[in-house]
Amino acid sequence: MRPTRCTRAIGAAVLVLLVFSLVFDDAAAYLPAAALAFFLVYRGILFDRSLRTVVGSLTVSRTASRMILRQGSTVDVTARVAYHLPDHTTLTLRDRPPAGAILAGGDLSHTATEPGAGSADVAYRMKVMTRGEIAFGGVGVTLADRFFAADIDLAGDGRTAPHLIVHPAGAFEKEAGSGSYGEAEHRTRSAVSGYTIHSFREYAMGDDPRRIDWKLSAKHQKLFVKEYTGQQGDLPLIIVDMPERTLDAGGAEVGRIVSAASGALEEAIGEYRSVSLLVISGGNIIRFLESERDIHRVMAAAGAMEPTERLVHFYYARDKVGIRAKRSRVERDRGIAAEESPERRFCANLAEIYRSVQEEQTQTAFELQVGRAMASTNAGTVYIFSRFSGDCSHIWQIVTQARRTQKDVHLRVPEETASPGMLRSLLHAGVASVEVI
């Protein structure tokens, strides 16, 4: 329970009058001080009773559009809260989503002033970022009258129901055929793409749902997508890397990236009659438009680009090529260092660490998806629009894959984040061009 501004002012008046009566030994000042003190106690007792009435009468019935979902997907939640509100009080209810959930729409709170029995529907949409069996946080209640206010979180008595089961969005992909028998579907990165099916593979996050083969999926009880063959060309693949929304809502540079990418998309579709767009945020695929011919769809996708939440983080992880290069450099240094010297021991330990990392490192889902995107679009040139700040591991993974398949990589950096040092390091990464936008 906390006092309002009015109560604090009355309390200050009580204090002044009490000090006055004590210093001057004056009963005249004591009388209103004592009366006001009793008044505050009286209001405090009444408020406590009101709070107990509200809390005791409050019931919550919550429904979620889906109980079993995948990490990062959205759920519509409706919480119906019934209560009894005493006179002259204001009640603010806040539904508390599970820990780690992000509000994607709607309003979590509801304010009631009408006394008596009432109910409120709190409807919102949230994005679930945690995994496992998760519960709601309960209901937050703020009750206030003219003299006092109190906050209380109610979490017991089924107020955290229902529990959602969230399956993780995997960061790593199982190696094809590395398990036991039965994994006969073999993925082949094709340099060509078109309109004839040349193979099937298991569905991976980011794949176009239109490519799902429903007959095969029904037969094997898991989703399979079609791989096409055919069309040759030198189409550009435009990759737009959006920043993480929870850490940085983005500023002018995000607008600049989107604007420049939109211009590039428009130009590409005008020149090549089709364009491929891959929207990523760190190591997360947000959207993939494969050889899209409809300019309206391309522009709609460009307009929807915004900072987003990241489910997968690479934490400055190096790819296999980078680790191998580091290891060979360390092993070379070890060969140069003197026998039994501390430098030699250090290099030996470091080389051992790199070797272990290299052995254990598995291919990430992101790497695989980007590889498929590059192969399916038959892109000859890759344009990357990014801020190139913070963790750029995903960018280096894309650059490595593009170089491995002999594609030219062009980097586009917004003016706000570009610095001479950064541009130098980007140019040293072996890309065809770096341009400030």
Note the residues at the interface with another protein (CB under 8 A): 1, 6, 9-10, 13-14, 17-18, 21-22, 25-42, 44-46, 48, 51-52, 55, 87-88, 133, 135, 138, 146, 150, 152-161, 163
Shortest Å, Cβ 95 to another protein: 15
Alpha helices by DSSP H, listed for 182-243, are 214-220
- Specify the residue, 27 or 336, whose C-beta has the smaller distance to another protein: 27
DSSP class per residue in 360-409: H---BHHHHHHHHHHHHHTEEEEEEE----S--HHHHHHHHHHHHTT-EE
**SS3 of residue 300 by DSSP:** helix
DSSP 3-state assignment of 410? strand
Q: Which is nearer to another protein, 150 or 295 (CB)?
A: 150
Nearby residues of 212 by Cβ (< 8 Å), 6 or more positions away = 203, 223, 224, 225, 226
Minimum distance from residue 108 beta carbon to another protein (Å): 18
Give residue 48's Cα distance to chain centre.
41
Q: Which is nearer to another protein, 37 or 432 (CB)?
A: 37
Query: Taking the complex as a whole, how short is the minimal distance between the CB of residue 195 and another protein, in angstroms?
Result: 49
User: From CA 153, how far away is CA 377, in angstroms rounded?
Assistant: 52
Q: Which is nearer to another protein, 131 or 226 (CB)?
A: 131
Nearest distance from residue 139's CB to another protein, in Å? 10
* CB nearer to another protein: pick between 140 and 250: 140
Minimum separation from the CB atom of position 253 to another protein (A): 40
- What are the φ/ψ torsions at residue 351 (nearest 5 degrees)? -60, -40
- The phi-psi region of residue 388 (left if phi > 0; otherwise alpha if psi is between -120 and 50; otherwise beta) is left
Give the pair of three-digit tokens for residue 388.
């190139």
Tell me how far, at minimum, the Cβ of 86 lies from another protein, in Å: 10
Quick one: 10 or 238, whose CB is closer to another protein? 10
